[in-house]
Amino acid sequence: MRYQVAVVDFSGNYLSAVRGALDSLGWAPEVGSSYLIKPNMLNSKTAEEGVTTDPGIVSALIGLLRERGCRACVGDSPGNAYPGKSRAVFEGTGMMKAILEAGGEFLDFEGQPPEVIQIKGELVDSIPFSKHVLEHSIINAPKLKTHVQTVMTGAVKNLSFGCIQGASKSKLHTIGNTPEKMAKAIIDVYSYIRDRVSLNLMDAIVCMDGNGPSFGRSQRISKILASRDALALDMVAFRMAGIDPLCVPYVREGARRGIGPSSEDEIDLVGGPLPNYEFKMPSTFLRGLSLRLGSVVKRLVPRIYFDKKRCVKCGECAGICPEGAIEMAEYPEVDDSKCIRCYACYEVCEYNAVKIKQKSLPL
Ligand code: SF4
Ligand code: SF4
């Protein structure tokens, strides 16, 4: 089987770039259908900061769906979501305004109890999905970013973690307490949800490198990528960012299981040649190497600490920690012996108060 990935330039006109990407793939919405657009809405940081999906892309998608008489819904579950957080993030990023002005509907993932689906994954046996995810055909609209836990994040992870409701995400962190297990857990969830995905459209206009997904360096590369297959899309996007996609554990796991391309050789690029960038990898990238180099390298995995000058003592890091490794004294304190280096605390802190420290080499 061959997979297609379209790469188009973005020069300021969202509708023209999105339409160009979809036309290149030969994809069009089914007349009168109901779609859920699933952006990456990690927190209230904006698309221009390289964190969340560009509202202009979502707005263009809504316009194209409405042209075909479709219902256009938009929803996501931010990190450590609780009732009210999802709406606040959509409003804070300008996404809510874009949705309403384009004639779309906001769906609050936290507004109803999840639907727990039993699956037969290699690690995961049940998934608390947002009900909205199960009621529509999905248009996945991820952001291209580095990620301290998974090296990179794109289309596959936006579907797996992002479709799980609120605080239930932390259970996945517990199950995925090594890079290899996390990759398996992501692919277990993805294997279930992928059949519901009609299209993947990636925002690579302003991306993030370094210690993403929230406090890395924003990188404007002005591209939009599209594919019917999320794994194929990630392979091309990560190659474009300057990393061998098979160095990303979840890509390697997906390729191993054959749910999508098993290598880049099975992908046809539409609109190439593929540009090349050199994204700075997260300082935790060593963690990926530990899969191959064993326990000596694992001892070097960076640990976390807290910057008291930035910390507002909100307790969100302690709330999301799957191992109960963070205690709120006056400030948060981590028990290093319990910490599994999942970096969920780093991801959830909106104040950049959780820091990652590389251990020095033992001499
Ligand atoms: S480190 Fe961040 S998330 Fe944790 S209490 Fe401080 S401000 Fe809140
Ligand atoms: S302290 Fe942070 S990195 Fe360690 S287990 Fe808890 S959430 Fe994960």
- pLDDT, one tens digit per residue, over 306-336 is 999 999 999 999 988 888 999 999 999 999 9
**Model-level pTM?**
0.90
pLDDT at 271: 85
CB 35 within 8 A of CB 138: yes
State yes or no: pLDDT of 250 exceeds 90. Answer: yes
Question: What does the DSSP 8-state code read for residue 250?
Answer: H
Percent of the chain residues topping a pLDDT of 90: 75
pLDDT at 111: 83
pLDDT tens digits for range 84-111: 889 999 999 999 999 999 999 999 998 8
CB 89 within 8 A of CB 60: no
Q: Whose CA is nearest to atom 8 of ligand 2?
A: 342
- What is the pLDDT confidence band of residue 292, given thresholds at 50, 70 and 90? very low
Both tokens of 98, joined, read: 């874009």
232 φ/ψ angles, rounded to the nearest 5 degrees: -60, -40
State yes or no: pLDDT of 56 exceeds 70. Answer: yes
Both tokens of 15, joined, read: 């509708």
- What is the pLDDT confidence band of residue 357, given thresholds at 50, 70 and 90? confident
Both tokens of 293, joined, read: 């180099």
Helix (H, G, I), strand (E, B) or coil at 354: strand
Residue tagged 């998608």 (tokens)? 61
The stretch 248-265 carries a mean pLDDT of 96
67 φ/ψ angles, rounded to the nearest 5 degrees: -55, -30
Q: What is the dihedral of CA 32, 34, 39, 45, to 10 degrees?
A: 90
Q: Is 267 a pocket residue for ligand 2 (Cβ < 6 Å)?
A: no
| Mean pLDDT, rounded, of the chain | 91
CA of 105 to the centre of ligand 2 (A): 35
Q: Is 119 a pocket residue for ligand 1 (Cβ < 6 Å)?
A: no
- Which carries the bigger pLDDT value, residue 292 or residue 5? 5
CA-CA distance, 117 to 131, in Å (whole number)? 10
Q: Give the chain's domains with CATH numbers.
A: 3-283 (3.40.50.11440), 302-357 (3.30.70.20)
Q: Is 325 a pocket residue for ligand 2 (Cβ < 6 Å)?
A: yes
State yes or no: pLDDT of 176 exceeds 90. Answer: no
State yes or no: pLDDT of 122 exceeds 60. Answer: yes
- What is the pLDDT confidence band of residue 291, given thresholds at 50, 70 and 90? very low
